[in-house]
């Protein structure tokens, strides 16, 4: 055993080996039983030699079929931006709230406009306030 293999492994070293074993299982290199056995051995491994033995028959990370180097574009890729998606209930609630706000704004604007309607009548002193829809000008009949 070389000096390197007799050195004691850290928790971080064991975690890295377990991640590599999980990737190997995802790639189809290990079945469920093998993965379970190797994960158990990795968690109780004391030295680098113990950990190296668990990875001895697996290719190094990033090595593709026939020993070719895996796609190097992955190293230059930008990190993915994760956009949370809203549930249907959340969207429905937002639409309902916006509709309610729009209706309240419309109602407030009509009340405000109706208070400022012009006085219509025969003389300025005897005017009558006539509510009219917005944009409609009432016709005044002159005698």
pLDDT in tens, 98-124: 999 999 888 877 655 445 555 555 445
Q: Which pLDDT value is given to residue 122?
A: 47
**Residues in contact with 127: Cβ distance below 8 Å, sequence separation at least 6, in sequence order:** 119, 120, 121
As a residue count, the chain comes to: 143
Q: Which pLDDT value is given to residue 143?
A: 57
Between 18 and 81, residue with greater pLDDT: 18
User: Considering Cα of 55, then 60, then 62, then 67, what sign does the dihedral take?
Assistant: negative
Q: Which pLDDT value is given to residue 82?
A: 63
pLDDT in tens, 29-77: 999 999 999 999 999 999 999 999 999 999 876 555 544 445 555 555 6
Q: Is the pTM of this model over 0.75?
A: no
């Amino acid at each position: 055993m070389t000096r390197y293999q007799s050195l004691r492994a850290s928790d971080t070293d064991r975690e890295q080996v377990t991640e590599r074993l999980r990737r190997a299982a995802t790639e189809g290199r290990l079945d469920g039983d093998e993965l379970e056995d190797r994960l158990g051995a990795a968690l109780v491994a004391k030295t680098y030699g113990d950990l190296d033995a668990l990875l001895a028959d697996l290719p190094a990370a990033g090595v593709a079929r026939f020993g070719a180097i895996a796609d190097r574009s992955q190293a230059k890729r930008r990190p993915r931006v994760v956009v949370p998606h809203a549930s249907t209930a959340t969207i429905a609630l937002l639409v309902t709230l916006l509709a309610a706000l729009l209706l309240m704004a419309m109602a407030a604007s009509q009340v405000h406009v109706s208070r400022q309607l012009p006085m219509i009548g025969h003389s300025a002193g005897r005017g009558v306030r006539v509510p009219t829809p917005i944009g409609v000008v009432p016709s005044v009949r002159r005698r």
